[in-house]
Amino acid sequence: MNPGLPGFAFRDNGGHWRGFNVDFCRALAAAVLGKPDKVTFVPLGNEERITALRTGKVDVLWRNTSWTFSRDTGDQLDMAAISYFDGQGFHGPPRPEPDQRR
């Protein structure tokens, strides 16, 4: 879990995990293990998340992680599906009209 993403994974005032990613983890536990509460949430930073998955510290990584070619091939991770689309963009000056181009 990335505990720094309110709405996705956070602890409420009672210390209970809440959020979009938390709900998906509980749904996976219900489907695979038969009980939605048979899950342990492990807060992980960006630097440790891939290593935690590869070494078996965690079984599933459900948090903001970009699906890249190097993760598919070099890290040999199996990305199951995209659950949230995020993006980056570039801004530049407006495109000149065709008659103003040089």
**Greater model confidence, 29 or 80:** 29
Termini Cα distance of the chain: 52
What string of DSSP letters covers 38-63?
Answer: --------TTTHHHHHHHTS-S---S
In this structure, are residues 26 and 36 in contact, taking their beta carbons and an 8 Å threshold? yes
Looking at the predicted structure, is the pLDDT value of residue 8 above 80? yes
Please state which of the ranges 8-22, 24-38, 40-54, 88-102 shows the lowest mean pLDDT. 88-102
Higher-confidence residue of 12 and 6: namely: 12
Q: What is the DSSP letter of 11?
A: E
- pLDDT tier at 101, thresholds 50, 70, 90: low
Alpha-carbon distance of 8 to 4, in angstroms, equals: 9
Chain-centre distance for alpha carbon 19 = 12
The proportion of the chain whose per-residue pLDDT surpasses 90, expressed as a percent, equals 29
